[in-house]
Structure 1
Amino acid sequence: SETEPIGPGSSTRKIKDGGGTRGVVSGLTEAELNMRVAARLRPLLERAGVRVVMTRTRTSGTSVGNVARARIANRAGAGLFLRIHADGSTDPSARGSHSLSPALRTGWTDDIYAQSKRAARIVQAELVRTLRFPDRGLQERSDFTGFNWADTPVILVEMGFMTNRTDDRLLATAAYQRRAAVGLCRGALRFIGRSTAPCAP
């Protein structure tokens, strides 16, 4: 598998695309679920007058990797680089939503650290409120390539656990994909200081 540096000038490398997880009940791949939610989120944000730039619009084909994704957000001058994911665990009882933001790393994330942390807090609160999944809180990560290459506020949202029967069964439904999109919309718009009214499904 191809690797890439975890940050600018780093000799530490990580796999470009880990492939994600898969639904224990639904059989959906993580990429398929993430794309379904992103496709529902996009029109809600556009209705609010937000210009949405996607790092991908289909699940098939070659992954661009996390450095390239960060560069897409950087080039766009994104107000928020929102990375939509679902989690997996060896513990099938693990469930709920959590949001991750960059740890403070001088020269890499110091310029985006505070705003990213604020974004994670706001988006996590809105996502949990709409999904009504257990709140697993916030986490900072220093080893995420997509964080360390970003020059814009960036967060990674784990909507739920595809390895948990309850989370997976719910997230596979159109209703819960809509809920996730609404929560992410509200969080993103609150973060950039806009009305959340257009997020109503």
Structure 2
Amino acid sequence: MTKKKLLKTFKKSLGLFLALSFLGGSVPILYAANSFVVCIDPGHQAKGDGKTEPIAPGSGNRKARVSSGTSGVATKNPEYKINLEAGLILKELLESKGYKVVMTRTTNDVNISNAERAQLANEARADMTIRLHCDSINNGGKSGSVLLVPSQKGTYTSKIYKASFHYATCLKKALQNKGIKVNGIFERSDMTGFNWSQVPVVIFEMGFMSNWQEDRMLSDKNYQKKLMEAVLEALETYKTEITPPPHSLTN
């Protein structure tokens, strides 16, 4: 392309941008291949830490730093193991698409509290934090995934609610398109990892390890990949829809 044609194209693009802005329309956000940062937090760890930490900055309420999670009724596999397996699959998928990925952990033998995990995402200026977990309940018939987001009216989370909820709706749709049951999107104000976060964050409870069939599915690498492909597809949708731009582009 000649210099003259390049200048002409630039002027056209600038004119369209200004027109959309003047008319109040949405202006598409263009990303460099590695400009979107995703923090993956595979929940729990091999050994829980019962020492306490504040559930929010400056809060007098305290909770255990981190637990080891649940385990499968059929497989007996620990949740922390499944979470990491899925997280490493997601890391590979995201990096293949040009995302910059930050992992809170890459092994099970760590001791990283929930607040510390949130702070890692903050320091990375993540555009989205995906916290991977599995559910368990005293009802073997319960199945399906659950999506948790920071509270809209939470003292510490109101600023990150909109983007977090937006991504959760994208993920819900992506999962349902793959035939995966989603029980709903629920707000939480009592979660340390949410309250310490300064960046958008969603907890993806991938399924119930208390359900015999679903527990076995959660240990299957092909099913894990299916779940993580939905996470990626939802991020691809989210990137084109979110306004204002994600965190790393506004700081």
Give me the TM-score of the superposition, normalised by structure 2: 0.73
1:163 paired residue number: 210
1:144-168 Cα distance to aligned partner (Å, 9 max, x none): 0000110000010001001101111
After TM superposition, what 4+ stretches of structure 1 lie above 6 angstroms from structure 2?
A: none
Pairwise CA distance, 1:188: 2.2
- The answer to whether the 8 A contact 1:124-1:157 is kept is no
1:100 paired residue number: 148
User: Which of these residues, 61, 72, 80, is aligned with residue 110 of structure 2?
Assistant: 61
1:107-134 Cα distance to aligned partner (Å, 9 max, x none): 411211111111111112213333x332
Q: Cα 1:10–1:177, aligned 2, differ >3 Å: closer, same or farther?
A: same
Alpha-carbon separation, structure 2, partners of 1:49 and 1:19: 32
Q: Structure 2: give runs of 5+ residues left out of the alignment.
A: 1-49, 242-251
Q: Is 2:109 aligned against 1:41?
A: no
Alpha-carbon separation, structure 2, partners of 1:107 and 1:158: 24
Alpha-carbon separation, structure 2, partners of 1:3 and 1:192: 36
Alpha-carbon separation, structure 2, partners of 1:87 and 1:106: 23
Alpha-carbon separation, structure 2, partners of 1:124 and 1:72: 26
- The answer to whether the 8 A contact 1:97-1:128 is kept is no
Alpha-carbon separation, structure 2, partners of 1:186 and 1:25: 30
Alpha-carbon separation, structure 2, partners of 1:110 and 1:50: 26
Q: Structure 1: give runs of 5+ residues left out of the alignment.
A: 195-201
Give percent identity, aligned residues only. 36
Q: Is 2:187 aligned against 1:140?
A: yes
1:191 paired residue number: 238
Secondary structure at the aligned position of 1:95 is classed as coil
Structure 2: which amino acid aligns with 1:30? E
Pairwise CA distance, 1:105: 4.1
Structure 2: which amino acid aligns with 1:8? P
Q: Is 2:166 aligned against 1:118?
A: yes
1:68-119 Cα distance to aligned partner (Å, 9 max, x none): 0000000000010110111011111111011000003454112111111111
1:12-56 Cα distance to aligned partner (Å, 9 max, x none): 111111221101111111111011111111111111111000000
- The answer to whether the 8 A contact 2:154-2:189 is kept is no
Q: Is 2:223 aligned against 1:182?
A: no
Structure 1: which amino acid aligns with 2:168? A
User: Which of these residues, 21, 28, 45, is aligned with residue 70 of structure 2?
Assistant: 21
CA RMSD of aligned residues (A): 1.4
Structure 2: which amino acid aligns with 1:178? K
Q: Which structure has the larger Rg?
A: 2
Q: Is 2:81 aligned against 1:32?
A: yes
Give me the TM-score of the superposition, normalised by structure 1: 0.91
- Greater relative contact order structure (CA < 8 Å, 6+ sep): 1
- The answer to whether the 8 A contact 2:175-2:182 is kept is no
Secondary structure at the aligned position of 1:52 is classed as strand
Q: Is 2:120 aligned against 1:72?
A: yes
